[in-house]
A and B are shown apart, each in its own frame.
Chain A
Amino acid sequence: MAANTILALLDHVFPGGDVAVEDRTGGGDHFQVTVTSERFNGLSLIEQHKLVNAALAAPLADGTIHELRIRTKGTA
């Protein structure tokens, strides 16, 4: 899966947010995603990560994404 596809999925869920996706191994299945969004404001870390996981639920469930590293930040 291309990093761009993941970027598009995240952009859709976090409009106006700052989203970066890095393909860690170049193999298209190990990704580091970094998201800064106002949607995270007031949420605990686990709630923030759950939003990211939910945005990528399909590729996570079918194994397209083998490894996902997440870093989130609110804007407040």
Chain B
Amino acid sequence: MSTLHDQIKQVIDTEPVTVFIKGTPEAPACGNSMRAMQALWQAGAPIVAVDVLPDPRIRQELTSLSEWPTIPQVFVKGELIGGADITEEMHASGALKEKIDEALGEHTQFVRTVELALD
């Protein structure tokens, strides 16, 4: 089985838009995770969500990889966009939709969750 680090990197690099959150899209456990997802959804982004709560190592590995200390974290095509504040601010100015459309081209919208394999 690949390491947690490799799994996280793979999701970030292969999914169009990944958001690491506390909880699930159906039941977010944190208001900031919800804010980020709402902004993404309204900007027309497909959302692949990864819950960091099942194991503290997920957040540790993610932060060592992204050098971003807080949750949520939003990635578009492998690039860290920021947390809830930046995502909301970019949505308000229209920059988020622009970024998504530019990075993904023509795309459909969906919400999916990815569970990381823990040993």
Contacts and interface: CB of A to CB of B under 8 A. Distances in A.
**Is chain B a partner of chain A in the same complex?**
yes
Interface of A: 45-46, 49-50, 53, 57, 60-61, 67-71
Contacts of B86: 45-46, 49
A53 B90 CA distance: 19
Nearest to A71: B85
Nearest to A45: B86
A31 to B, nearest CB: 11
A53 B82 contact: no
A53 B83 CA distance: 11
Contact of B81 (A46, A50, A68): A46
Contact of B82 (A45, A67, A71): A45
Contacts of A46: 80-82, 86
B28 to A, nearest CB: 14
Contacts of A50: 67-68
A61 B60 CA distance: 10
B69 A61 contact: yes
B113 interface: no
B82 A49 contact: yes
Contacts of B82: 45-46, 49
B38 interface: no
A7 B38 CA distance: 30
Contacts of A53: 68-70
A53 B66 CA distance: 13
B67 to A, nearest CB: 8
A71 B88 CA distance: 11
